[in-house]
């Protein structure tokens, strides 16, 4: 018997794998409709690591769609197709199918992909000179399996044929005067085809756990629901073809003596469905796929004699030890001072002529621009460490919101966190972009926001014409956390207190600036970075801000709800980095925004507190790399 290695969270197979010489290797991808988002996650982890050593790639149904994105080098492309296109009612709507029999519109899916999320076939053609990519389809009459060579000239027809789920697709797929159906009917996992073509090292990506025994039970259930004779006939046919599926599983579990199977599969049933998945379900399965893809890279791939195995990592220049070791801290301070002293400072008048202070940092003369929109009780001074790293790649602009930092205050009490109307923040950002940033743009423009700044950014993006190509938000405030004693009060009570107040005043339980001990903070696990954050305000009274006013809280509650209500109007890619252990803003509200925003992509940094940009290295490194990966490579596909 040959060798079989299971790459799954619950498997220890990888521990027994030893180094191997590999002359050629194949990749096989299973279908599964929207469950293919798991495969998208695995392949995106491969792309991130610049890992594509495969000489032969064979995909069935959604697996072939994933291979098209992979061969064109598009990290995030397959995820976006599944999330944005296959979830659209223009592609498939169950109620419409049950009432009218109108199924999946594969023509619309492919045309939508070509027009809105085009494949980069220039890269694909380069790969196809050294690699063979096959998509599996089944003959509609005699159920003979056909392996179509994917190419730039016929990719649309081939992918349509491979994905034409019986009885659920709208238009017949005709090629060579023959009708073709989903290849999963006859060859759900085309591993035997790779073996027959002489490959003895085969990586298989599954969309079901290894012990899964049924492949198309969903269609049998659908037949019972609709009482459709054609569908019933197809379901009966599928029962017969389950035998092919069991044979394939037997091949995987007990491969021939001369073959090694590397099987990447979920360790649980995926949350997503063939059709009708929510964004939350897709995201969970996508992240699961990415995690297992990285397990494969770190354990199996690193022991294969193949090139391009090292995962790309961006240059993280700062470590927590640089804040505790005197010599290293001095080196860090010198680096910071060098770029900080080169900054350009300015002022622009916002709503009601409140002065907004801004800076521009570009020590490396970069063309691409990144605009930082900070959170409540912050200043661009807080972002010195972030700017040190991001200025390697971008021309950076940042400004301080009205009522905080270096900008003009709103009340006689310098430390009261107050705003008359949350939309003033949004208009300030618009004014800053139009009068300061936009006139000086030379390359693409991106935007990075944090907490309250994300609510400002989201409303700006959904309201105005803007030059921003992609945006990212860390711990966005789409649901406000009501601190202290105010937390138990209902919105009506807050509104009443707001109306009764003769002038802006601190909300119940809030006060002037107070130094919070590290042990009581909910922003970061990093004691060193937290101390720097606190010292910034202790040593610079002009930057201090205390608690919010009651009116600020009521305005922020309304702002969060408005962000969610208008999320569908944000039409550029947005990466949402969610802090797993956030105790400041609502992760539920972030998920609600994400579900309604067609162009967002949510990733969680597990275990991180709210302010992940000043977190411990184990969390911060993840966040910084996710941001840079998003902005520098393929943001447009998320």
Residue extents of the structural domains in the chain: 3-184+198-214+258-306, 325-632
> Tell me, what DSSP letter sits at residue 515?
P
Closest-CA residue to 210 (of 256, 250, 238, 183): 250
Query: For residue 522, what are the CA distances in angstroms to 202, 410, 448, 498, 612?
Result: 47, 27, 22, 27, 11
Relative to beta strand 369-373, strand 445-450 is parallel
The catalytic residue positions are 61, 182
Res. 402 pLDDT band, cuts 50 70 90 = very high
**According to the model, what pLDDT value does residue 156 have?**
75
Asked if residue 456 has pLDDT above 60, the reply is: yes
Residue 97, C-beta contacts closer than 8 angstroms, at least 6 positions apart: 103, 168
Q: Which CATH architecture has domain 3-184+198-214+258-306?
A: 3-Layer(aba) Sandwich (3.40)
Asked if residue 410 has pLDDT above 80, the reply is: yes
Mean pLDDT of 518-525: 95
Mean pLDDT of 85-108: 72
- Cα–Cα distance for residue pair 489/512, rounded to 1 Å: 21
- Per CATH, is 325-632 categorized as 3.40.630.40? no
Res. 327 pLDDT band, cuts 50 70 90 = confident
Alpha-carbon dihedral sign for residues 512, 513, 516, 520: positive
Res. 332 pLDDT band, cuts 50 70 90 = confident
Closest-CA residue to 586 (of 560, 567, 568, 566): 560
**Residue 349 CB: number of other CB atoms within 10 A?**
13
Distance of CA 298 to the CA centre of its chain: 21
Res. 216 pLDDT band, cuts 50 70 90 = low
Mean pLDDT of 165-190: 74
Mean pLDDT of the chain: 85
Mean pLDDT of 29-57: 93
**According to the model, what pLDDT value does residue 220 have?**
54
Is-contact 183 137, C-beta < 8 A?
A: yes
Q: Is 44 left (phi over 0), alpha (psi -120 to 50) or beta?
A: alpha
> Whole-prediction pTM value?
0.81
**According to the model, what pLDDT value does residue 486 have?**
46
Q: What is the DSSP string of 46-114?
A: HHHTT----SEEEEETHHHHHHHHHHTT-TTHHHHIIIIITTSTTT--HHHHHHH---B-HHHHHHHHH
């Amino acid at each position: 018997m040959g060798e079989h290695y299971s790459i799954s969270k619950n498997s220890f197979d990888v521990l027994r794998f030893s180094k191997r010489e590999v002359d050629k290797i194949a990749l096989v991808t299973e279908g599964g409709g929207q469950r293919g988002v798991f495969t998208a996650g695995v392949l995106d982890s491969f792309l991130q690591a610049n890992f594509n050593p495969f000489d032969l790639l064979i995909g069935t149904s959604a697996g072939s769609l994933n291979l098209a994105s992979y061969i064109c080098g598009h990290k995030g492309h397959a995820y976006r197709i599944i999330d944005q296109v296959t979830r659209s009612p223009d592609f498939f709507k169950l109620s419409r199918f049950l009432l009218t029999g109108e199924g999946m519109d594969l023509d619309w899916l492919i045309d939508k992909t070509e027009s809105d999320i085009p494949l980069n076939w220039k890269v694909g053609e380069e790969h196809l000179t050294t690699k063979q990519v096959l998509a599996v389809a089944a003959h509609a009459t005699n159920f003979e399996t056909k392996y179509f060579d994917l190419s730039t000239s016929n990719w649309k027809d081939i992918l349509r044929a491979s994905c034409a789920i019986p009885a659920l697709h709208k238009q017949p797929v005709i090629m060579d005067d023959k009708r073709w159906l989903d290849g999963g009917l006859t060859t759900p996992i085309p591993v035997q085809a790779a073996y027959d073509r002489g490959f003895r090292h085969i990586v298989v990506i599954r969309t079901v756990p290894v012990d899964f025994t049924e492949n198309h039970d969903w269609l049998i259930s659908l037949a019972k629901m609709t009482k459709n004779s054609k569908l019933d006939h197809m379901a009966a046919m599928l029962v017969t073809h389950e035998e092919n599926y069991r044979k394939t599983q037997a091949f995987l579990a007990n491969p021939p003596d001369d073959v090694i199977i590397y099987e990447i599969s979920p360790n649980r049933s995926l949350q997503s469905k063939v059709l009708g998945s929510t964004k939350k379900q897709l995201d969970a399965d996508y992240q699961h796929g990415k995690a297992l893809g990285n397990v494969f890279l770190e354990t199996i791939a690193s022991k294969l004699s193949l090139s391009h195995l090292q995962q790309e990592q961006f240059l993280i220049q700062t470590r927590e030890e640089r804040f505790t070791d005197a010599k290293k801290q001095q080196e860090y301070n010198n680096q910071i001072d060098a770029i900080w002293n080169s900054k350009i400072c300015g002022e622009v008048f916002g709503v009601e002529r409140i002065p907004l202070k801004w800076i521009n940092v570009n020590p490396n003369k970069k063309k691409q621009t990144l605009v930082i929109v900070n959170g409540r009780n912050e200043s661009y001074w807080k972002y010195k460490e972030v700017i040190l790293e991001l200025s390697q790649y971008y021309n950076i602009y940042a400004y301080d919101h009205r009522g905080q930092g270096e900008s003009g205050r709103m009340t006689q009490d310098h430390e009261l966190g107050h705003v008359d109307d949350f939309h003033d923040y949004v208009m300030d950002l618009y004014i800053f972009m139009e009068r300061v940033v936009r006139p000086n743009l030379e390359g693409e423009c991106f935007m990075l926001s944090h907490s309250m700044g994300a609510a400002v950014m989201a409303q700006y993006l959904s309201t105005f014409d803007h030059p921003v190509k992609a945006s990212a938000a860390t711990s966005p405030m789409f649901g406000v956390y009501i601190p202290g004693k105010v937390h138990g009060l209902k919105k009506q009570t807050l509104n009443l207190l707001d109306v009764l107040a003769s002038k802006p005043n601190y909300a119940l339980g809030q006060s002037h600036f107070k130094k919070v001990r590290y042990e009581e903070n909910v922003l970061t696990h990093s004691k060193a970075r937290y101390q720097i954050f606190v010292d910034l305000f202790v040593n610079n009274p002009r930057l201090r801000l205390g608690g919010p006013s009651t009116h600020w809280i009521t305005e922020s509650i309304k702002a969060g709800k408005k962000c969610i209500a208008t999320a569908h109007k944000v039409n550029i890619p947005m990466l949402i980095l969610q802090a797993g252990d956030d105790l400041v803003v609502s992760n539920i509200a972030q998920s609600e925004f994400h579900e309604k925003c067609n162009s967002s992509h949510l990733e969680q940094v597990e275990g991180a507190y709210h302010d992940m940009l000043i977190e411990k290295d184990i969390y911060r490194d993840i966040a910084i790399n996710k941001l840079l990966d998003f902005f520098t490579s393929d943001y447009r596909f998320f």
